[in-house]
Amino acid sequence: MRSFNRRRFLRATIGTAACVSTGASLLRGYDLSAPLGFQAHGLRVLLSADFPGTLKKVKALGYDQVELVSFKGYSGNSSRDGFAALAPMDPSKIREVIDDSGLVAPSCHFKFTEFEDDVIDSTIEWAHGVGVKYMVAVDLPAMNTTEDCDATFEKVNRFADRVVNSGLQLGHHTQPDDWKTIDGNLVMDWFLESIDSRHCQMELDLESTMTMGVDGADYLQKHPDRFFALHLRDAKTPATLGKYLNSLPLGAGDIDWKKMFQAAKSAHVSKYFVEMEIAAPGDPIDALRISADYIHSLVV
């Protein structure tokens, strides 16, 4: 047993060193053929204090991509915001800083209100300026009735037309309301039926499924080609459904990650973003490090 563990340790050590030194994706070893990314929101305090330095620090952990948030959209004073210091940055400068860090930014979160008719043109212009491909809508209005759902889906389709016509792709970041059942219908099923997959792809957030008691891996397998991205975050199964779950580093919670990655691969998910919304006084950088190491350990 001691000899086996030593060989296992050596393989893990050599594999990790090779990944970091060559810039190869940690996920590629698990045969997902996708680079590993992280979501910027969980690092909002650090990024606001030192945008270039924080990006380079995460890059050194083996990450290849960053999923941004709209700095203007998230410039308020609520716990969901925090990017006021970066809001004045010119989009071309943001892109330059990201390029200089060695990262790529394929995707960005925007609040649903940033797609309304009076601001959508400037939102799209900003997205083009920073160089993202996916504009991901978050914070959709509450969906408690069939009328709420119909109104939201109609808006998503309208926004999608504008985004797609500009040469970009609309995405939707799943939220707890998506996993409600209204009049016998699962809202997410209804969403997928109502939205053209060519116009809007989904980003599966695992907090939203765990907090609502949904098997995310099972849902991915049932709906291939509808989810372009997966938010990687662990959590303990909640005693009470519907309660928000802070992030745990991958491997520290109850998610079966081998099953999840197998499901994501079979569903043709192409983007993987580690999202560490760590409760204070936790260290999101350390959580990103632990998560990257854990992902790589799955191939050993």
What's the pLDDT tens digit per position in 264-288? 999 999 999 999 999 888 899 999 9
Higher pLDDT, 32 or 87: 87
Q: What is the pTM of this model?
A: 0.89
- Dihedral angle sign, alpha carbons of residues 245, 246, 247, 252: negative
For residue range 151-194, list pLDDT tens digits in order: 999 999 999 999 999 999 999 999 999 999 999 999 999 999 99
* 18 inside domain: no
* Residue 17 placed within a domain: no
What's the mean pLDDT in 35-50? 96
Residue 297 confidence class, pLDDT cut points 50, 70, 90 = confident
pLDDT tens readout for residues 199-225: 899 999 999 999 999 999 999 999 999
- Assess if residue 291 is contained within a domain: yes
Number of domains in the chain: 1
Q: What is the CB neighbour count within 10 angstroms for residue 10?
A: 11
In-domain check, residue 13: no
Question: Is residue 8 in a domain?
Answer: no
3-state helix, strand, coil in the chain (%, to 5): 45, 15, 40
Q: Can you give the CATH number for the domain in which 99 is found?
A: 3.20.20.150
Beta-strand pair 169-173/181-182 = unpaired
State pLDDT tens for residues 160-171. Answer: 999 999 999 999
Q: What is the model's pLDDT at position 22?
A: 39
Domain span at 40? 25-297
Residue 88 placed within a domain: yes
Average pLDDT rounded to a whole number, residues 52-79: 96
Task: Kindly state whether residue 40 falls inside one of the protein's structural domains.
Answer: yes
Q: Is 194 contained in some domain?
A: yes
